[in-house]
Amino acid sequence: MAEKKYSVCVVDDETELCETYSEMLMDEYEVRSFDSSLEALAAISRGYKPNVIVTDLRMPGLDGLNMLLRAKEIGIPSRTILMSGHADRSDLIKAISSGIDSFLEKPFSTDELRKAVAQAIYSQIPLEELVVKLTELNESYFNRLVLAEDQLFANSDSVLDKEKKLKLLESIRSERVISKRIASLESTIRKGKAS
């Protein structure tokens, strides 16, 4: 199993929700969860340095926004995602003016949470490193594309059933689309870097 490079801190006083959010992320990230903002802040004070902190806004004791502000005062450069099912306009204005990176309104989907965390993570990666990662990813997809084409043509004389050929063709088609999208994104990043 590959080591997880990025750490996410999840804080919500509703224990079941906290566990659910953590489970949504643990396939991709090292996740620590806390059902109290004071516990999370204590861990941060003792040296825990997550890349991203995802916290509920309204919690007893210390609310999520003030916990994030205290974490920043301690010097934690984490990206911050605030979530709430009961935020009003003034909460949002205060969060934005305080430098919160993202806001999720409850309920949200697994994809919405993963996307917000991924955006927070990728915003911390230096542009040069991101270009290298995209290049590696594109090469990987290209290699898989070549392999799928080789399998299809290597078996062209044998009796491959129609369904298997269609699956291989679909695989080739999707690999080409992904490879083109990655190459396009890489080109866009390189152009932005040059300006």
Instruction: Give me the half-sphere count of Cα atoms (radius 13 Å) on the Cβ side of residue 16.
Output: 0
pLDDT tens digits, the chain, 195 residues: what are they?
456 788 999 999 999 999 999 999 998 899 999 999 999 999 999 999 999 999 999 999 898 888 988 888 888 877 889 998 877 787 778 877 777 888 888 888 888 999 999 888 887 776 677 677 777 777 776 677 677 666 666 655 555 566 666 676 666 666 666 666 666 666 666 665 544
59 and 86 Cβ atoms separated by less than 8 Å: no
Residue ranges per structural domain of the chain: 7-122, 127-194
* pTM check: above 0.85: no
pLDDT of residue 2: 55
pLDDT of residue 182: 65
pLDDT of residue 101: 83
Q: Distance between CA atoms of 47 and 32, rounded to whole angstroms?
A: 13
Fold of the CATH domain 7-122: Rossmann fold (3.40.50)
Strand residue runs (E) in the chain = 7-11, 30-34, 52-56, 79-84, 102-105
pLDDT of residue 72: 86
